[in-house]
Structure 1
């Protein structure tokens, strides 16, 4: 699988796709949707679709596709080759969502959570297939969130297409299994071949599965935490795992809340706010030695003083 377009700039999301089989432009088709890498703290999340004519479902099943989570890496690679070789009637497309996109979306002022990001990725891929001329009649989806609500959303967005949303759809429908394999193979390749934009020297690539509970992943996160600059963009810094490590191991930084004025912020940090200068008494502003501090020459040269009444 060629991930060149994504590897050229892995800070942003990227669309990859196979050629569209001619038969998919003339015959009624089914399409499956699944994702890989929703939970890890490292690397991208990949949404995948796979499609073929309804009349070719048995031929797709004969390729022995299965839920990618039940397969070894070697089996997934082999099955992806089989799918790629069946390009006369099978097509696929991927949305590779960078860890940087995931984190900035989740932490921006107008929150864009992972479910919304996932739904939009799935919708975008279905629309891509339609725009490419695929004659979609059936769509099968592994659920994200409540299945019925998600199914209603997709049915309204794509009227005329029969939508089926089911938990564990990747183990129920071969076309979803095929999408699962495409997504997982792409994520595996992206993680293994990750190009670090940061100057980290020789990077230890033994970062485990990328899941927060993996000891190798935890160790890697500790080793590559810069106390000032945080993590490389390979890390989803919006994940609680990363945030906890940053809070306990990085230099503390305080960002004033919009509702918190400078005086309160300074008091909370046992510090002096610039605004406190303007709250000094008139005697202090006039350079009264009893204040223990002279007024700034900007005020004395201009003979300015605070007044309490007009």
Structure 2
């Protein structure tokens, strides 16, 4: 169940009794012709992991950390793994309604079901119903834009890649924005052409298909640490250096557990041990900054509903006016 969403103190031009279901539609006109890689866009890290199957097999993305846990705890390991693999507790529809517009996806083919699933340590929901869920939302809100980032693939062949590419095309079709010059992709351009979906696909099979954006069109900052001081220090260094202005850029304010963290907190979870200290610090770090083509752009976290992350990100766009 979704937690209550705090709205007090937000600096966004929305009615006080509304939420962020159509925040892009309501952005100030000064944002309408700004390239989208210079707007602040709230994102969801491993957006699908609100449902992972503890009764099924381990996912093909299992890291050495997960394998160590399995070796130590045997059949009880999955209950530990799920607590450290779940990064979101809201469904995709709930995340969309709360304002999330960037979605991070990891896909695997599961032989036992003969289906494509999302995966994070354990197999998650089937891909097609989740994509249909996003499409249904876009039908309700025709001026909202989403970014779908397919950046990790497991146990997939050219045939299963083509299956996924065809699925994406069939579901989103005319809503898909083709790969174009970065300066040209603005809200006004997308609204004029009735486009709502930008799909990044990090595999060579998509490079010849103009409706998909290649992996090089989006870069990401990932500190790869479970220590908050190191995360903040790395963020400061990356921000001071400036990121490339010819692509989208995903700033990830996440802490990543190591084996020692998991084994030292067996009764805990990613949320209780890491996210609940990472998110408020990261929200403080982004607050007051102005999104630019060399600075903040897509900004993603675990458990997106916590610590006013979404309203803080959206409010950054109003500083451009």
The answer to whether the superposition gives a TM-score over 0.5 is no
Q: Which has the higher contact order (CA 8 A, sep 6+)?
A: 2
TM bracket, shorter-chain basis: under 0.3
* TM superposition score normalised by structure 1: 0.25
Of Structure 1 and Structure 2, the greater helix share is in 1
